[in-house]
């Protein structure tokens, strides 16, 4: 039996519709969501967003692109200088050599991003999340931007996973793909991430005013604890 067989299609459709409507009214305006960006700009946004709050990257992203507008510019920059530019985001010593390795690989590939999944994940810095993001935001293929924030929202609403690592949990992986199987997959991905950041927060979630609370497993448990 599939790991999400107990979750009805109707429940997923209701979740999708609620999030898409919420996003239309409350979604965040972020620079990498603007139209007209090229593959390099979109790729680097996902790299910079790793382990960093979107708000912090939003303030830094335009300056980074102005300084390093191409893969070649990144590849030709000294690692120490790149580390200095990355310092505002944190983890600069770890990020700089990895981004340099990524830039060198992409220059060797003449900037062409592979569509084949195994080839894509062979590129430095490209793990499951960034590969999913590239499929979604660059190739426009429905693919979940499954990080700890999306996982938190999906698990609170539909029920928890079993494995600690979200990358290998069959239930959460299947659930995320079922949820993102939608005509507006990219906007639904963004809606989930924004909703997790603004409403279904890790600490002090805004449950009473949440448009999902009527059917939310987490809210039901919270209310039971108060009675």
The full set of domains in the chain, from first to last, is 1-227 (1.10.340.30)
The whole-number average pLDDT for the span 2-10 is: 96
Gap between the Cα atoms of 212 and 193, Å rounded: 15
pTM: 0.94
Handedness of CA 200, 201, 203, 208 (dihedral sign): negative
Mean pLDDT of the chain: 95
What pLDDT score was predicted for residue 166?
97
Residue 224 has pLDDT above 70, yes or no: no
What pLDDT score was predicted for residue 136?
98
**Cβ partners under 8 Å of residue 208, min gap 6:** none
What pLDDT score was predicted for residue 227?
53
**Cβ partners under 8 Å of residue 91, min gap 6:** 51
DSSP reduced 3-state for 174: helix
What pLDDT score was predicted for residue 225?
62
Tens of pLDDT, residue by residue over 133-165, are: 999 999 999 999 999 999 999 999 999 999 999
Residue 221 pLDDT level (bands cut at 50, 70, 90): confident
Top pLDDT among 176 and 224 is at: 176
What pLDDT score was predicted for residue 179?
98
What pLDDT score was predicted for residue 226?
57
7 dihedral zone (left: phi>0; alpha: psi -120 to 50; beta):
beta
Residue 118 pLDDT level (bands cut at 50, 70, 90): very high
Report how far Cα 125 is from the mean position of its chain's Cα atoms: 15
- The upper half-sphere exposure of residue 57, i.e. CA atoms within 13 Å in the direction of its Cβ, equals 18
What pLDDT score was predicted for residue 222?
76
Tens of pLDDT, residue by residue over 57-107, are: 999 999 999 999 999 999 999 999 999 999 999 989 999 999 999 999 999
């Amino acid at each position: 039996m599939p790991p999400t067989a107990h979750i009805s299609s109707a429940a997923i459709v209701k979740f999708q519709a609620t999030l898409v409507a919420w996003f239309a009214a409350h979604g965040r305006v972020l620079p990498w969501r603007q139209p007209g960006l090229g593959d390099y700009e979109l790729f680097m946004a996902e790299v910079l967003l790793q382990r960093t709050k979107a708000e912090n990257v939003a303030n830094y992203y335009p300056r980074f692109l102005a300084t390093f507008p191409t893969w070649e510019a990144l590849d030709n920059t000294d690692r120490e200088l790149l580390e200095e530019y990355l310092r505002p985001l944190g983890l600069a010593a770890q990020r700089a050599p990895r981004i340099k390795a990524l830039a060198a690989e992409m220059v060797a590939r003449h900037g062409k991003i592979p569509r084949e999944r195994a080839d894509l994940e062979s590129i430095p810095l490209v793990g499951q999340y960034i590969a999913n993001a590239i499929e979604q935001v660059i190739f426009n293929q429905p693919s979940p931007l499954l990080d700890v924030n999306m996982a938190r929202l999906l698990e609170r609403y539909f029920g928890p996973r079993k494995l600690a690592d979200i990358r290998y949990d069959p239930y959460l992986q299947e659930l995320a793909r079922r949820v993102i199987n939608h005509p507006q997959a990219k906007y639904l991905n963004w809606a989930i991430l924004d909703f997790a950041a603004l409403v279904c927060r890790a600490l002090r979630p805004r449950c009473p005013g949440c448009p999902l609370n009527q059917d939310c497993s987490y809210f039901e448990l919270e209310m039971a604890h108060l009675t």
